[in-house]
Chains A and B, each alone.
Chain A
Amino acid sequence: MTENNKLVVGIGDYKIGEAPYVIRTTLGSCIAICLYDDSKKIGGMLHIMLPDSSGHHEKPTFKRAKFADTGIHDLLESMKKQYTIPKDSLTAKIFGGGKVLRMVTSNIGEQNIDATKIILKQHNIRIINSKTGGDKGVQVDFFLDTGKVHCRVFGEEPEEF
């Protein structure tokens, strides 16, 4: 991975791309959702922090990618708009949802994991791999040439998913 082929995702955002790009993010209690079309080497990563957008639509600013429901919908639509994606060709991998700090009051990580699973199922997207929970941060690198994800939990060796 070089600085030239690296796409970095912040909270409440998604990035899409194709080989040879690598999409990176770092997580605590947030979730990274990686969608991939193996036949076209196209992928996208979404970094959500909340399970449900209900009650947020009326706010003057509404960052749709912060939420599992609107974020997954928008990531899918963007991928379909930018690329021709055959029906049912996408698979998903999900990471994060830990409880790193006692200062974070709610156990939002678990709620994010549950909501993500339900929404992906509604879109007929199969989760083929995941590493969720725990109490440490996670660094995620999504390689779009292979669809592999290098997931590194703090203090541990990177694992390939």
Chain B
Amino acid sequence: MESNENVNRAVQLVAEHSIEKSSEVLTKMLNTTAKIELKNVNFVDITEITASVNQSDFEAIGSFILLSGDAPFKFLFYVQLEDAFILTDLFIGQKVGTTKAYDEYVSSTVQEIGNILSSAISNVFASDFQIKMLPEPPSVIRDFSGTLFSELIMDMALQEDKILLIESLFEIVETELNCHMYLLPIDGSERILGFGAGI
């Protein structure tokens, strides 16, 4: 148990660092302040976390990315469908409200934001833990937020009832736009990270 807590602490510190880096990158990219907050780094019960996500289920678009290497992770970034239109306008640099329907620009924006965030995060994890970590090509999926989340944790939840989840919530200032980002260590990555941190 103590070992779990130490791994959590090590992962939390690095996650905080990677979130700071992501905020900087996203702020620069969107030309408006993006405040990313690390909401939780913890072993969560699969029933409780999925019930919580299903409670406020909405239509969403998300980018799934596998971060492969020494300590593989799954990454998911998702946003409410209507909010993805605003994100697209900010990303392209056009007046907010221009994008009114889902199209390839919306899909590309979510894909690109997923790429940039996951790259920023994997760079920090790779450098702080001295490991190899590389983002694979993303899959952009439109579905219910509950479905996106359950598919993220599915492979891990088949084996475990509690999973280590890094959860972030971020807002794009001046737009009231909320985005969700999750990182899930897979295949025993949390133990590898604990080893890398000298735990």
List A residues at the B interface (Cβ < 8 Å): 8-13, 24-30, 49-50, 61-63, 65-66, 100-105, 108, 136-139, 154-155
Q: Are A61 and B150 interface neighbours, CB within 8 A?
A: no
Query: Restricting to B40-72, which residues have a CB under 8 Å from any CB of A?
Result: 46-55, 57, 59, 64, 66
Main secondary structure of the interface of B (DSSP, over half): helix
Separation of A12 and B52 alpha carbons in the complex (Å): 13
Can you list 28 residue pairs at the A/B interface with Cβ under 8 Å?
A10-B54, A11-B47, A11-B153, A11-B157, A12-B47, A25-B54, A26-B144, A30-B150, A49-B154, A63-B46, A66-B157, A66-B161, A100-B141, A100-B143, A101-B64, A101-B139, A101-B151, A102-B139, A103-B66, A103-B139, A103-B151, A108-B154, A137-B144, A139-B57, A154-B142, A154-B143, A154-B147, A155-B142
Main secondary structure of the interface of A (DSSP, over half): loop
Report, as a range, how many residues of chain B touch the other chain: 20 to 34
Q: Are A28 and B147 interface neighbours, CB within 8 A?
A: yes
Q: Are B50 and A154 interface neighbours, CB within 8 A?
A: no
Q: Which of A10, A61, A101 contacts B52 (CB 8 A)?
A: A10
- Interface core residue of A62, A108, A136, A154 (most chain B CB under 10 Å): A154
Question: How would residues 123 to 165 of chain B score, 1 for a CB under 8 Å from any chain A CB and 0 otherwise?
Answer: 0000000000000000101111111101101110110011000
How far, in Å, is A34 (CB) from chain B's closest CB? Answer: 15
Residue of B with least CB distance to A29: B154
Asked if B74 lies at the interface with its beta carbon under 8 angstroms from chain A, I say yes
Q: Are B155 and A11 interface neighbours, CB within 8 A?
A: no
List B residues at the A interface (Cβ < 8 Å): 46-55, 57, 59, 64, 66, 74, 139, 141-148, 150-151, 153-155, 157-158, 161-162
Separation of A77 and B49 alpha carbons in the complex (Å): 25
Residue of A with least CB distance to B145: A26
Q: Are B146 and A26 interface neighbours, CB within 8 A?
A: yes
Separation of A16 and B154 alpha carbons in the complex (Å): 24
Q: Which 4 A-B pairs have the closest CB atoms?
A: A137-B147, A26-B146, A10-B51, A10-B50
